[in-house]
Every structure is written in structure tokens, then in C-alpha cells.
Amino acid sequence: MLGIEDGWVVLVYLLCIMSTILCLVWGIIKWNVDDPVQEPDEEIRHWAEEEDRVESEL
């Protein structure tokens, strides 16, 4: 069978192909799903102000 005599090698090839297919399917399903963890605008604004203050002090 394709010059591969050991069954474990065939199993490894099959697992690699199956994991690739699984990753593709997962990526297609999750392609445009919104990020469930989003910071509120106020936290982002506070973080940006803090970063600007630290940069100006440098």
C-alpha cells in the first residue's frame, strides 16, 4: 500500500489529514463570529489615556 509497510505510519498520515480537515471546518464555522470578549469603550479609552501619559513621560 503506497510503499508504506508499517500500519502506524499509515495511522499518522490519516491523523494528520483528519486534523487538517477538522481545523478547516472549525475555521469555516468560526470565520465571522463576533469576539465574545470585548472590552467596553470606557476601558479602552482609559487604557489609551494611560498609554499616552506614560509615553509623554518618557
Write the pLDDT tens digit of every residue in 36-49. 677 678 888 888 89
Only one residue has cell 490519516, namely: 14
Query: Could you tell me the residue range of the domain that residue 41 belongs to?
Result: 7-57
Q: Which residue has the cell 476601558?
A: 43
pTM comes to: 0.53
**Residue 11, pLDDT score:** 94
Would 50 be classed as within a structural domain? Answer: yes
- As a whole-number percent, the residues of the chain with pLDDT over 90 amount to 41
Under a CB-based contact definition with an 8 Å cutoff, are residues 4 and 10 in contact?
Answer: yes
Average pLDDT rounded to a whole number, residues 23-47: 84
Q: What is the CA radius of gyration of the chain?
A: 24
**38: in domain:** yes
Q: How many domains does the chain have?
A: 1
